[in-house]
Chains A and B, each alone.
Chain A
Amino acid sequence: MNHITPASDQNALSADRPRRYAYVTPFVDVQTADDGFVLQAEMPGVSKTGIEVTVENGDLILVGHRESLDTSGDPVYLERRPADYRRVYELDPSIDTSRISARIDQGILTVTLPKAESVKPRKIALD
């Protein structure tokens, strides 16, 4: 079974884990294919320097630090949340972690997770 699931350990209490309410969960689209997965996470306000993509213990951790806007003035009406973005995914073991790549464009973080060559479906020829 191939899947990426959100890790349930965001609830874990740990001294070195950031506190949950300091982060906001970004929307993510997941596209699956035979040769891997592509994630697209919405992180408006994050530029290339603010992205942290980490693979740790089979988890993929996406963090986006927002740039502070150079807006002056008093807030009249606020809907945006000022928190940074964070989302954790449990990686399917078939993913080749050394070939994970990421890029960001206009606030969309695209992470490509290719599967290892050996697990791609192969046709077996009949003798």
Chain B
Amino acid sequence: MNIIRYESYPTLSNAFDRLAALREDMDRLFDSPFGSFFRTPGSLRNWSPALDVYETKDDFTVVVELPGLKKEAIDVSLHGDILTVSGERKADEKKEGQGFRTERFYGSFQRTVTLPAAVDAKKVKASYKDGILKVVLPKAEEAKPKQIEVSVS
């Protein structure tokens, strides 16, 4: 199954920023961190950190790329089977008279994942290392696969 990410489009600000950003993105088209399909320029996008979801028979693991944050700035919450990861990254202040070219995203982000099965909220563990947030969500007992004996009469 080929999954295309949803990217939201905030209103345009500066036409020249758009053109400059478009030029840079064209140069990097095939090396995009988000895949080889065409991307909208940086000034048109919100920050949507990439995430992966893995499943074993006992748990789910959700991995989110969130470089450069303090762990206090990351909020992980679970409502039923919906996991929400959110937070905010503030840009460093620009000093007077200096240039600053930015490709990285700043501001607030939010990613939401609906897990395919029920999880045990009391046993969820999250860790943040090397800019990667890893959330391990053990499945609820009733959601784990069970072997059913087949009896032949």
Contact = CB atoms under 8 A, between A and B. Distances in A.
Contacts of B52: 75, 77-80
A69 interface: yes
Given A71-B54, A71-B61, A108-B68, A25 B131 contact: no
Contacts of B63: 69, 71, 80
Contacts of B105: 27
Contacts of B102: 29
A40 B32 CA distance: 17
Q: Which of B5, B33, B61, B70 has the most CB of A within 10 A?
A: B33
B50 to A, nearest CB: 4
A76 B103 contact: no
A69 B54 CA distance: 11
B138 to A, nearest CB: 12
Interface string B14-34: 000000000000011011111
Contacts of A44: 65-67, 130-132
A97 B104 CA distance: 25
B98 interface: yes
Q: Which of A10, A40, A79, A80 has the most CB of B within 10 A?
A: A79
B30 A21 contact: yes
A29 B32 CA distance: 16
A42 B127 CA distance: 19
A72 interface: yes
B126 interface: no
A106 interface: yes
Contacts of B32: 24-25
A78 to B, nearest CB: 5
Contact of A27 (B54, B95, B104): B104
Contacts of B104: 27-29, 40, 42
Given A27-B104, A43-B67, A77-B113, 12 more contacts: A6-B27, A21-B30, A25-B33, A26-B33, A42-B67, A69-B132, A74-B55, A77-B3, A77-B52, A79-B51, A81-B50, A107-B65
20 contacts: A10-B31, A24-B32, A28-B103, A29-B100, A29-B101, A29-B103, A31-B100, A44-B65, A44-B67, A46-B131, A69-B63, A74-B55, A75-B55, A81-B34, A105-B68, A106-B67, A106-B69, A107-B130, A107-B132, A108-B67
